[in-house]
């Protein structure tokens, strides 16, 4: 019997793989002689190839944005909420592409894939990608797929930064640009959180200068800590209070051994950290957080965000989330104001939520309705 | 030649030591058969013993609140800004006491002092103190000094929690209570930050179950990370942006070795962490953060903060700092409102500053004037 999925699911999907035999030069000068991108697509590219939408993933995301890989999968792709037949990004009309970024650890060329000419994975030798590099590699993939213009480029957080970079770097390619819970560049506090996460990994004795795979170790303690820091900053203070309060973990109260006292929130964070540490590559975490830190949309324009935005030809949707303190609404307002100053069409909304930075991934009626209505303008009518 | 100190400095001070041969029972049931408290005093106790003021220190503070230990000291005690002849806590009128808390690492009985009957320091075996334990041990010290009532108990952050606990647990002892940048109990987000700090220490292979001193190791990596997390949360996002921006550290730009890119803020945090990791005891950090987490002023009153505050007989000064997100102004407002509901005299102020939680330790004209004016009512006239 065929597995049953909800009617608005894209259903079973199979990741695909694109090989590129030409070299790829990173913004920092490093070169890959050849590379691979793993990706998924949902829906059908139409004959005019004018219904293609690119989804850009965030720090710990993958190419698996929607649907299921196995009929036994308990959870669908990371943005299944938004992608599917009848969903805001409607696969009955749109052809959706999501690729794993270069330097990530889910199948595209990255630190955990073999280094040519070496008998080991890239490890700490993998080049530092920047957001603009991902945009250029995604363009290679698009051309391979017969696409020469995106009806929309969409992303949240680090994914939103890719969407913005696309609109600025390749104006003729981007008809609509959706940046969710993003920022035009990181502030010092944000860089500091990333630095702590990296420092946790780099100071783990099992890090072995990034060569842990070749050396048979795993800096799991460092990655767990890094994830705990990250996870904590994606939630809002109020959201955490509502969810965890000051509740002690069941059976955790041991008066004679008081170090055993464990609050629910501690137990939760430890669990999240431990789970992540065996699933995610440490080098990728370092590269991705560094790419976040280095992102600066205005960099090529003397720090002038309006000048950067002036390049774009897209129509923009900018969404912030009221309790997001990692990329606070103020940063989205900066982008809205720069777009308005550059006389670009922009819709801006600040979604009231206690979900913090994670808000862009979580169900919220207002947010979903906004995305649904705005997306109606995307693609052929 | 005598060293020259500013006219409003308490000048050279010598820490003193009080031995207690009676047992001390902690709230969690653990017992110390005997213990020592190291402390400093500034000014003179008058004949009526009605001019004594207790200063309670915060997480990484010590008994050295004001003045200098050596004439070569570059920096005075941690709250020299507020304590001295002619300063807000005026040592011409007041007798000021500050002791190192039990379980700390600067001379009072704690994890780095010898465990009776064992040939090694307490290490991870030291009992978990709570805020109420410190209050009771400070009371022992007061009685030893011939004090039976404080003209004021004053503290910031974890020190403010001790001041509040004093006012609730020993109402007849506390005439004035000053709680700066404090809270009636930690929220989930705050507990989570502490948990990450502890997890960094406890997952350091050199932690050795807290027995690192006996085993000749030092969990310096874990303590450095813990301090980086703490330090970051004591600063405000705006304060960090103003101070560090997105500046790269000088000479840190190396295009061919992009992992070397280091922002100023990263360099600063690493330096802070590294310095702290060789100066502060890891077990103490674990105990102090746990004491913070466990603090709950309303715990004995069925969670009713008004009922707790009703016990007090003190006049209160509650001060918050606008950009403090570790103990945000809202938490001080909760305390103000509970005090008003309990019909207690309270002055509340929210100081506008970009200094974050550190605000209570940093120069600020409004804050200093407020403290100065309010303190005029403290002690004999």
Whether the predicted pLDDT of B254 surpasses 50: no
- Give the closest-approach CA distance of A99 to chain B in angstroms: 24
How close B17 gets to chain A, by Cα (Å)? Answer: 28
Residue A284: which CATH number?
Answer: 1.10.1740.110
End of a domain among B256, B289, B322? B289
Say whether both B64 and B41 belong to one domain: yes
Residue B90 shares a structural domain with residue B36 = yes
Averaged pLDDT for residues A137-162? 98
Q: Does one domain contain both B60 and B199? A: no
Q: Among residues B270, B289, B308, which one ends one of the domains?
A: B289
**Does residue A258 share a domain with residue A199?**
yes
Do residues A223 and A282 lie in contact, with contact meaning Cβ atoms separated by under 8 Å?
A: yes
Is A11 inside any structural domain? no
Looking at the structure, do residues A178 and A283 belong to the same domain, yes or no?
Answer: no
Mean pLDDT, chain A, rounded, equals 94
The pLDDT of residue B150 is 98
Q: Cβ of A290 and B266 within 8 Å?
A: no
Q: Which residues pair with B18 in a beta bridge?
A: B37
Whether residue A191 lies within 8 A of chain B, CB to CB, comes out as yes
**Residues A271 and A362 reside in one and the same domain:** no
B36-40, B115-119, B280-284: which has the minimum mean pLDDT?
B115-119
Residue B278 falls within a domain, yes or no?
yes
- Do A161 and A182 contact (CB within 8 A), yes or no? yes
Domain boundary among B289, B309, B336: B289
> Are B25 and B120 members of one domain?
yes
In a domain, B381, yes or no: no
* Nearby residues of B200 by Cβ (< 8 Å), 6 or more positions away: A200, A225, B221, B222, B223, B225, B226, B229
Q: What is the pLDDT of residue B35?
A: 98
Q: In this structure, are B125 and B84 located in the same domain?
A: yes
Using a CB–CB cutoff of 8 Å, tell me whether A124 touches chain B.
Answer: yes
Say if residue B240 is in the same domain as residue B317: no
Residue B181 belongs to a domain = yes
Which site among A132, A188, A203, A252 would you substitute to test the B interface, given the most B Cβ atoms closer than 10 Å to its Cβ?
Answer: A188
The answer to whether the Cβ–Cβ distance between A188 and B243 falls below 8 Å is yes
Higher pLDDT pick, B262 / A202 = A202
How many Å apart are CA A113 and CA B32, to the nearest integer? 57
Domain count, chain B: 2
Residues of A in contact with B294 (CB under 8 A): 261
Per-residue pLDDT, A370? 98
> Is residue B143 exposed (0-12), middle (13-18) or buried (19+ Cβ within 10 Å)?
exposed
- Substitution target in A25, A124, A190, A196 with the highest count of B β-carbons within 10 Å is A196
Q: What is the pLDDT of residue A250?
A: 58
The reply to whether A366 falls in a domain is yes
Could you read off the pLDDT of A279-331 as tens digits, one per residue? Answer: 999 999 999 999 999 999 999 999 999 999 999 999 999 999 999 999 999 99
Pair B127, B28: CB distance under 8 Å: yes
Q: Report pLDDT digits (tens) over B176-226.
A: 999 999 999 999 999 999 999 999 999 999 999 999 999 999 999 999 999
| Residue A250 and residue A202 share a domain | yes
| CATH classification of the domain holding A114 | 3.40.50.1820
Across the interface, whether the CB atoms of B193 and A221 are under 8 A apart is answered no
- Is ipTM beyond 0.90? yes
Integer CA distances (angstroms), B331 to A266, A323, B70, B305, in order: 21, 17, 39, 12
Q: Is the residue at A7 inside a domain? A: no
Residues in chain A: 381
Q: Does residue A217 belong to any structural domain of this protein?
A: yes
How many Cβ atoms are within 10 Å of A118's Cβ, its own excluded? Answer: 11
Same domain, B164 and B32: yes
Q: Is residue B237 part of a domain?
A: yes
Nearby residues of B53 by Cβ (< 8 Å), 6 or more positions away: B89, B94, B95, B96, B97, B150, B151, B152, B153, B154, B378, B379
Under an 8 A CB cutoff, do A30 and B127 touch?
no
Residue B42 confidence (pLDDT)? 98
Residue span of the structural domain in which A73 resides:
16-185+296-375
> What letter would DSSP give residue B127?
-
pLDDT tops 70 at residue A30:
yes
Q: Note whether A72 and A99 are same-domain residues.
A: yes
Would you call B357 a catalytic residue per the annotation?
yes
Whether residue B241 and residue A193 make contact (CB cut-off 8 A), yes or no, is: no
């Amino acid at each position: 019997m065929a597995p049953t999925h909800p009617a608005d699911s894209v259903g079973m999907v199979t990741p695909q793989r694109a090989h590129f035999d030409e070299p790829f030069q990173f913004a920092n000068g490093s070169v890959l002689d050849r590379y691979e991108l793993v990706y998924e697509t949902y829906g059908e590219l139409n004959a005019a190839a004018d219904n293609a939408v690119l989804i850009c993933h965030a720090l710990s995301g993958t190419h698996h944005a929607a649907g299921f890989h196995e009929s036994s999968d308990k959870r669908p792709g990371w943005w299944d909420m938004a992608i599917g037949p009848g969903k805001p990004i409607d696969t009955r009309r749109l052809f959706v592409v999501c690729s794993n970024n270069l330097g990530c650890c889910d199948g595209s060329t990255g630190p955990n894939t073999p280094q040519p000419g070496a008998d080991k994975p890239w490890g700490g030798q993998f080049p530092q990608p920047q957001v603009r590099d991902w945009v250029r590699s995604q363009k290679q993939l698009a051309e391979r797929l017969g696409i020469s213009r995106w009806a929309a480029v969409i992303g949240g957080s680090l994914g939103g930064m890719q969407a913005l970079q696309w609109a600025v770097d390749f104006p003729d390619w981007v008809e609509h640009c959706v940046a969710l819970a993003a920022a035009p560049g990181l502030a010092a506090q944000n860089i500091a959180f990333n630095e702590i996460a990296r420092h946790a990994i780099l100071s783990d004795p099992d890090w072995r200068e990034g060569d842990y795979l070749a050396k048979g170790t795993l800096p799991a303690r460092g990655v767990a800590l890094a994830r705990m820091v990250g996870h904590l900053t994606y939630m809002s203070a109020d959201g955490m209070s509502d969810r965890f309060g000051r509740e002690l973990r069941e059976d955790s109260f041991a008066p004679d051994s008081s170090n055993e006292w464990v609050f629910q929130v501690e137990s939760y964070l430890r669990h999240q950290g431990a789970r992540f540490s065996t699933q995610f590559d440490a080098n990728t975490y370092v590269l991705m957080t560094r790419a976040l830190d280095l992102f600066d949309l205005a960099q090529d324009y003397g720090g002038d965000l309006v000048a950067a935005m002036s390049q774009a030809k897209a129509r923009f949707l900018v969404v912030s989330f009221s309790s997001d303190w990692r990329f606070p609404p103020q940063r989205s307002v900066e982008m809205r104001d720069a777009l308005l100053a550059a006389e670009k069409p922009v819709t801006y909304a600040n979604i009231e939520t206690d979900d913090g930075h994670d808000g862009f991934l979580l169900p919220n009626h207002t947010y979903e309705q906004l995305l649904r209505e705005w997306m109606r303008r995307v693609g052929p009518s």
